[in-house]
A = this chain, B = another copy of it.
Amino acid sequence: MFREQIKVLDCTIRDGGLMNKHDFDIEFVKKVYKAISASGVDYIELGYKNSKELFSSKEYGYWKFCDDEVLKRVIDGVESKTKLSVMVDVGRVKLDDVKPSSESPVDMIRTATYVKDVDKAIHMANHFSEKGYETTINIMAISRDQGPELEEALHQIEEESAVGIVYIVDSFGALYQESVEHLVKLFKSFLRTKEVGFHGHNHQQLAFGNTIEAIIHNANYLDGTVYGLGRAAGNCPLELIIGFLKNPKFDIRPILDLISSEFIPLREKIEWGYLIPYAISGMMNEHPRAAMALRESDKKENYREFYESLTNVDVE
């Protein structure tokens, strides 16, 4: 009783890279790639394609730039049907740096944008489409951008872009299932020729529940990460998505092995997952950057002060 159109994208290394300046070593990424490939997941996203003129390769690891040569080192010699994805942010990539898809191991380029930058995102995504890539536009911070500007942006994407998929990105982990239902229906009403995707964050432990809600309302592209690794509270755990979907092409066991051997030790080095400051950020519909800073400070368990710092702001 599965829906064949559903595609799952693993973005463990890409979203997880936001917690360690994209500095995973190649052997680790290769283990993730092997496990994801063996599990039958449709796509894997390994990082961002950023211009080295904007970010220093001394400060950031490989997955901030995703050079084709580095990607090839990951995938070489691994049997896989999993397609390779990279993400680009509006204004952070030189278009000329991106080779035609026929010369690159990359299959899909996802352009992340705020509603206000959608014109630029359409321009970029069309450029990648012309170069032969599968393309998406991912609308970030959607919990703060639900007015007529969003509807205008969706209308424009439908009319002017060649992308196949448009993602709802709950960057702040602020959506509840009623808002997910509303957004998926809104997206589908404007995007008559495109698929809708959902990327959740787990600040309020709702990433998986919201992903199910998106499925119920016919979103067909689902993001997950192994053991939920990702910025702050992390993302929808991939293992839960795979456990939920009934498509026999998926095998959860390579992901379970990967968590046992790699992610339990990793959690000792990188802190992600449900923590009270992230829950508060989600409730308040705030970017988790203040909560992440708190967790790096000596006040990391001082929740009341943090809560009050967010609620006692003067707003005229």
Contacts and interface: CB of A to CB of B under 8 A. Distances in A.
B177 A257 contact: no
11 contacts: A176-B244, A205-B205, A205-B207, A205-B240, A237-B274, A239-B276, A240-B283, A243-B279, A252-B307, A253-B307, A260-B303
A201 to B, nearest CB: 13
A216 B177 CA distance: 10
A259 interface: yes
Given A243-B279, A260-B301, A177 B212 contact: yes
How many residues of A sit at the interface, in one of the four size bands? 35 or more
A264 interface: yes
Interface of A: 176-178, 202, 204-210, 212-213, 216, 227, 237, 239-240, 243-244, 252-253, 256-257, 259-260, 264, 273-274, 276, 279-280, 283, 301-304, 307-308
A304 B253 contact: yes
A213 B207 CA distance: 14
A231 to B, nearest CB: 17
A274 B177 CA distance: 21
